Amino acid sequence: MRYSYSKPGTKRMVSLHTKVWVFYMLAAVCLSAWAGYFLQKTTSTFSQESAVAQMQNSIYGHEIARLKVKQENIKKQLEDVAYRVVYNTNIKSAIKGILQIIPDSITIQSITIDHSSLVIKGMVSSKEAFRLSLLPRLRSIFENNQINFYPAGNAWRFVSSSSSSTSFVEKRRD
């Protein structure tokens, strides 16, 4: 028996609009969770890369500091070498000057030159030959002259120490 002209339809517990709405809500939640996970992974990757970059920066900073110290040492060594070249040139010219003032009658065994002193060791036939030939020349250059003679057979060994308050060879200014 029928009392209605319309055919009865099945009534659902959840409507079609609600199903679509729930589907899109779940999709949005899943998409948000995936985006959060992706951002977390990306952030941790960038954090690790940043830590590596900071470590490399620290290493490069220490390397730069080490190279600067090495550069300063090389500059000092270069200045030392330049000083030695000038010093050796001055010593050579001083030795040439000393050798030019030494007469042929005196035999030289060693010459020691410092900044303001000169030590000559050698042999001479007589004390007077030394005092008349070389001593006046040394007195014209140096303020203090000390000569010690030692007998050696027919000749005399001598050690002449001469010094001055002014530099004979230019001193290094540090």
Statement: residue 66 has pLDDT above 80: yes
Q: Does one domain contain both 80 and 128?
A: no
pLDDT for residue 43:
96
Q: What is the pLDDT of residues 120-145, one digit of tens each?
A: 999 998 888 888 888 888 888 788 89
Give the single-character DSSP code of 170. Answer: P
The span from the CA of 131 to the CA of 124, in Å, is 10
Statement: residue 76 has pLDDT above 80: yes
Residue 1 lies in a domain: no
- For residue 8, the SS3 value is coil
Statement: residue 106 has pLDDT above 80: yes
What would the two tokens of residue 17 be? Answer: 């609009």
Domain count, the chain: 2
Domain boundary among 101, 131, 158: 101
Which has more confidence, 116 or 26?
A: 26
Compute φ and ψ for 84, nearest 5 degrees. Answer: -65, -35
Residue 80 lies in a domain: yes
How many other C-beta atoms can be found within 10 angstroms of the C-beta atom of residue 156? 17
Q: Does one domain contain both 24 and 94?
A: yes
Q: Does one domain contain both 124 and 166?
A: yes
Portion of the chain with pLDDT greater than 90, in percent: 45
Q: Does one domain contain both 97 and 19?
A: yes
Alpha carbon of 111 to those of 50, 92, 98, 122, 148: distances in Å?
68, 12, 9, 9, 15
Q: Does one domain contain both 134 and 62?
A: no
Is 123 in contact with 132 (CB distance < 8 Å)?
no
Angle, CA of 84, 85 and 89, to the nearest 5°: 110
Residue 10 lies in a domain: no
Q: Does one domain contain both 89 and 130?
A: no
- Domain region containing 93: 15-101
